[in-house]
Amino acid sequence: MVLTALRGLLLWGNLALVASSNPNSQSLLQSSSQTPSSTSLQESFQVYQPVLFDPSGDNSCDVELLLMDHIFGASYGSPFVGDYKPPRCVFDTVRIKLKVTARGRQYDRLALMYLGDNEVFRTSTAEPTTNGIVWTYIKEMSQYNSLWQAPQKLIFDLGNIINDIYTGSFYVTLTAHFSYRQAARTADIILPISSKRSVSNSASSFSVPTDNTTVMVEIPAAAMRAVVSISACGQSEEEFWWSNVPNEDTQGFESTVGGLYGYTPFREVQLYIDGILAGLVWPFPIIFTGGVAPGYWRPIVGIDTFDLRQPEIDISPFLPMLQDGELHSFEIRVTGLNVSADGKATFANTVGSYWVVTGNIFLYLEEGYPSKDVTMKDSQGPQVEAPLPTFSISRKLARNQSGGNESLSYSVVAERTFRTKSSQFSWSQTLSFSNSGLLNRQGYSQVNKQLTTGKNIITERGDTPTSNSTSFKYPLVVNATYGITANGLTIDSWMLRGLNFETTGGPGISTYSLTSGPSYLRTTQSGKARYSSVTGGSSTSWGDTVEKYESETNGQAYQQSVHAINGTVVHNTGSQDKVQATPQDHESGRGSVKAILGKGPGSPAP
Ligand SMILES: *[C@@H]1O[C@H](CO)[C@@H](O)[C@H](O)[C@H]1NC(C)=O
Ligand SMILES: *[C@@H]1O[C@H](CO)[C@@H](O)[C@H](O)[C@H]1NC(C)=O
Ligand SMILES: *[C@@H]1O[C@H](CO)[C@@H](O)[C@H](O)[C@H]1NC(C)=O
Ligand SMILES: *[C@@H]1O[C@H](CO)[C@@H](O)[C@H](O)[C@H]1NC(C)=O
Ligand SMILES: *[C@@H]1O[C@H](CO)[C@@H](O)[C@H](O)[C@H]1NC(C)=O
Ligand SMILES: *[C@@H]1O[C@H](CO)[C@@H](O)[C@H](O)[C@H]1NC(C)=O
Ligand SMILES: *[C@@H]1O[C@H](CO)[C@@H](O)[C@H](O)[C@H]1NC(C)=O
């Protein structure tokens, strides 16, 4: 830990001043990075609408800073810690470029980046190959302008483990570009809903269900708008939450495939303010690059794998209640469902182990603050209409001739509406979810078909009300069958998934749409993949994945269609300059069926 911190400081001492508008700064940065020799590295990529790293502004500010150049070897519990100092020019636009190379065998890992106690970026890694892989991801970061304006402890937590089997280290460089472009106004204050451990050079995420996720916050009286972003994803027993079963069925195939994970495939992330429900997130089913069948995700990684979106809850209707100069509690909960013997579903108020959760409260202050007097608000709570969701559940266990459990079919359908309203704002959510699952062949084969849709509307009330809305749709179908052969294991799978949303915009830059103003995204991934491992020997995996991507941000439309087979891109309408490598030896990072699929022999991914 001390060493990491020292290393961060040293870096800053040596390299922070690389910052300049000097066109050579880029090459300086590159020569400083400790990457494996870049010959024959295969390029992994996430399909996304390109973001320009160094957009030209009015030239008053054009600065590139190296934020981190670090090897994540045995880094579990030892994040990179650096001291960020803002450049000495006025900027309103910040973009970051993450470049990662890795070689050897390694799990895909989750990584969280913080400025102080605020999580600002959640990413995950691709699985490396023997010859090595490389990827680059550029991200809009101006939504965190108010944090970038001040010195910050920059904490990058990529927990990795190195041992005899898992040899791959991640070589990571992170650079930032600053410019002034008269861009959209962003939040004035960003308060963390996190465990706030930057003071001890630690990561600040909460782990649910073990941690107390309540924080006490004072909201300034000058705030006229408030939006909470929620960052949450399942790990270990909860990584494949969309394929989990009701608790009563977790032992259904104990004698064949072992225990299954429970709480049904339904998940709800809830935000509470002073114990009052303030909004909901029905999460996107992220699939990491080691998940279901690793062959799907090479070299095209899963949707959002390099940048996990953070859905937003507009809490402006709560502002009058919060602006009394007192502390108020904010809490994020994650829940699945319990199903009673008579088939009724209720919130479990908990989940399996575990979810990684944080939030940020984005506050927009009244113009002219602090010189202008701020009137005290009425301190009344909002009207909240939060009827319990309607759930309909079915479960059917079928036995074979010898009385053994042969198949389980189950389904969960949920609908929910939610609304908060006070004098100036109202917020409403309409959500629906369905998942039908079938485990057959004594549990060895499983299909889940899931669909999550929703629409959120924020309305500024008054004589001529104005509204913004965001609608989304997350379809997912995954069929995965594993088998035990004479000398090993196989997984055969096909899938079809998508992420679609359309938004009319909102204040600032959205942590969900990743841009300002109106935008949409429609993307699907489909494919088939196979994994096979030889007991005591090596594993191979192959796959065939097609991604179609269509989006529009800032009035610019973007389309890309990509097809990869067995690790090689065979068709790509996007950037033609992509160097195509031949398939490489790839020992799947995740060493067991349970780590890959969430059931079967072995232990779950950490
Ligand atoms: C959780 O933390 C809050 C805020 O620090 C505290 O008020 C509350 O008592 C804690 N709850 C439990 C169960 O420890
Ligand atoms: C069959 O399923 C039931 C209900 O889940 C379970 O209690 C029982 O142990 C299962 N039988 C076997 C042999 O796994
Ligand atoms: C749901 O079931 C789990 C596991 O049995 C239990 O710990 C939890 O208390 C239950 N939740 C409720 C609200 O009863
Ligand atoms: C019935 O299912 C059990 C496992 O639940 C399995 O061990 C047994 O071989 C099956 N019998 C037949 C006839 O398929
Ligand atoms: C799922 O895959 C298995 C094995 O490939 C196949 O037998 C089964 O029919 C598939 N299920 C569906 C619903 O496609
Ligand atoms: C709606 O979004 C636009 C930006 O797209 C923003 O200027 C406006 O203030 C927003 N209105 C509400 C009520 O959120
Ligand atoms: C992908 O690899 C598998 C296994 O080696 C092979 O059977 C299949 O023909 C390959 N597909 C293509 C298009 O090369």
Q: Specify the pLDDT at position 23.
A: 35
Alpha-carbon span 115 to 121, nearest angstrom: 9
pLDDT digits (tens, 9 = 90+) for 226-268: 999 999 999 999 999 999 999 999 999 999 999 999 999 999 9
Spell out where 146-213 has E strands: 152-158, 169-179, 189-193, 206-208
- Provide the percentage of residues in the chain whose pLDDT is more than 70: 90
Mean pLDDT to the nearest integer, 151-170? 95
Q: Tell how far the Cα of 566 is from the centroid of ligand 7, in angstroms.
A: 6
Burial class (CB within 10 angstroms; exposed 0-12, middle 13-18, buried 19+) of 564: buried
Q: In this predicted structure, what is the pLDDT of residue 2?
A: 30
Which ligand 7 atom is the nearest neighbour of the CA of 566? 1
- Supply the pLDDT for residue 367: 82
DSSP 102-127: EESS----EEEEEETTEEEEEEEPPP
C-alpha 397 to ligand 2 mean position (Å): 9
Residue 28: per-residue pLDDT = 31
DSSP string of 260-278? ---S-S--EEEEEETTEEE
pLDDT at 370: 57
Residue nearest to atom 8 of ligand 6 (CA): 506
Q: What would the mean pLDDT of 495-522 be, rounded to a whole number?
A: 98
395 alpha carbon to ligand 2 midpoint, in Å?
14
Say how far apart CA 411 and CA 436 lie, in whole Å: 4
- How many whole angstroms separate alpha carbon 438 and alpha carbon 451? 15
Contact criterion met (CB below 8 Å) for 450 and 491: no
DSSP class of 186: -
**Nearest C-alpha to atom 8 of ligand 1 is from which residue?**
214
For 126, residues 6+ apart whose C-beta sits below 8 A from its C-beta are: 44, 100, 102, 108, 133, 135, 289, 297, 298, 299, 301, 305
Quickly count: other Cβ atoms within 10 Å of residue 39's Cβ.
7
CA dist 218 to 147, 215, 316, Å? Answer: 18, 10, 15
| pLDDT recorded at residue 20 | 34
**pLDDT in the model for residue 40:** 81
Task: Tell me the pLDDT band of 536, cut-offs 50, 70 and 90.
Answer: confident
Q: Is residue 21 scored above 50 in pLDDT?
A: no
Greatest distance between any 2 Cα atoms in the chain: 81
Q: Which residues pair with 275 in a beta bridge?
A: none
Q: Greater confidence, 379 or 403? A: 403
Residues with CB under 6 A from ligand 3: 247, 338, 348-350
pLDDT at residue number 102: 97
Nearest-CA residue for ligand 1 atom 12 is: 212
Statement: residue 35 has pLDDT above 90: no
> Can you name the residues that pair with 135 across neighbouring β-strands?
100
**What pLDDT is recorded for position 11?**
32
How far is 421 from 419, CA to CA, in rounded Å?
7
| Nearest alpha carbon to residue 384 among 346, 335, 428, 349 | 428
377 pLDDT higher than 80: no
Q: Does any ligand 4 atom lie closer than 6 A to the CB of residue 467?
A: no
Give the SS3 label for residue 25.
helix
* Residue 3: per-residue pLDDT: 30
Distance 474 CA to ligand 3 centre (A): 28
Check pocket membership of 250 for ligand 2, CB cut-off 6 A: no
For the segment 39-51, the average pLDDT, to the nearest whole number, is: 92
Alpha-carbon distance 112 to 95, whole Å? 17
What is d(CA 23, CA 485) in angstroms, rounded to the nearest whole number? 58
Q: What is the mean pLDDT of the chain?
A: 90
Q: How far is CA 27 from the centre of its chain?
A: 31
- In terms of residues, how long is the chain? 606
Per-residue pLDDT at 509: 98
380 Cα: distance to centroid of ligand 1 (angstroms) = 24
Residue 4: predicted pLDDT: 31
Would you place residue 55 in the very low, low, confident or very high pLDDT band (cuts 50, 70, 90)?
A: very high
3-state secondary structure 385-441: ECCCCEEEEEEEEEECCCCCEEEEEEEEEEEEEEEEECCCEEEEEEEEEEEEEEEEH
The candidate with the shortest Cα–Cα distance to 301, out of 162, 137, 521, is: 137
Tell me if 547 sits within 8 A of 522, measured CB to CB: no
Closest by Cα among 23, 151, 9, 138 to 70 = 9
Q: Is 442 helix (H, G, I), strand (E, B) or coil?
A: helix
Nearest CA to ligand 1 atom 10: 212
What is the pLDDT confidence band of residue 60, given thresholds at 50, 70 and 90?
very high
What sections of 212-322 are H helices per DSSP? Answer: 319-322
Residues 542-562, mean pLDDT to the nearest whole number: 97
Mean pLDDT of 521-535: 95
The answer to whether the CB of 439 falls within 8 A of the CB of 445 is yes
Convert the pLDDT of each residue in 266-315 to its tens digit. Answer: 999 999 999 999 999 999 999 999 999 999 999 999 999 999 999 999 99
Q: Measured in angstroms, how far is the CA atom of residue 540 from the centroid of ligand 7?
A: 11
Of the pLDDT bands very low, low, confident and very high (cuts 50, 70, 90), residue 605 is: confident
Q: Which residues contact 334 (CB under 8 A, 6 or more apart)?
A: 208, 209, 232, 267, 268, 269, 270, 351, 355, 357
Helix, strand, coil tally for the chain in percent (to 5): 10, 45, 45
Range 467-490 average pLDDT: 95
**Paired tokens of 408:** 């389980």
CA triple 545-550-552, angle to 5 deg: 150
* The two three-digit tokens of residue 48, written as one number: 């996304």
Q: Closest Cα partner for 304 from 503, 511, 591? A: 511
Give kind and range of the element (H or E) at residue 48: none
pLDDT band (50, 70, 90) for residue 584? low
Per-domain boundaries in the chain: 42-370+379-572
- Ligand 7 proximal residues by C-beta, below 6 Å: 542, 565-566
Mean pLDDT computed over 451-458 = 98
Q: How far is the CA of 263 from the centre of ligand 1 (A)?
A: 25
- Supply the pLDDT for residue 538: 85
Do you find a cis peptide bond into 354, omega within 30 degrees of 0? Answer: yes
pLDDT at residue 383, as a whole number: 96
Going by their DSSP bridges, the two strands 133-140 and 42-43 should be labelled as parallel
For residue 376, is pLDDT > 60?
no
Segment 452-480 shows an average pLDDT of 97
Which residues surround ligand 5 with Cβ inside 6 Å? 445, 447, 479, 481, 492
Distance 479 CA to ligand 5 centre (A): 6
Residue 26 pLDDT exceeds 60: no
Residue 148 DSSP SS3: helix
Reply yes or no on whether the pLDDT at 458 is more than 60. yes
> What would the pLDDT profile of 404-449 be if each residue is shown by its tens digit?
999 999 999 999 999 999 999 999 999 999 999 999 999 999 999 9
The encoded tokens of residue 297 equal 């995700």
Q: Among 160-169, 364-373, 560-569, which stretch is predicted with the lowest mean pLDDT?
A: 364-373
Choose which residue among 245, 248, 251, 442 to substitute to test ligand 2 binding: the one with the highest number of ligand atoms within 8 A of its C-beta: 251
Question: How confident is the model at residue 14, as a pLDDT?
Answer: 31
Residue 468 Cβ inside 6 Å of ligand 6? The answer reads yes
Residue 576 has pLDDT above 80, yes or no: no
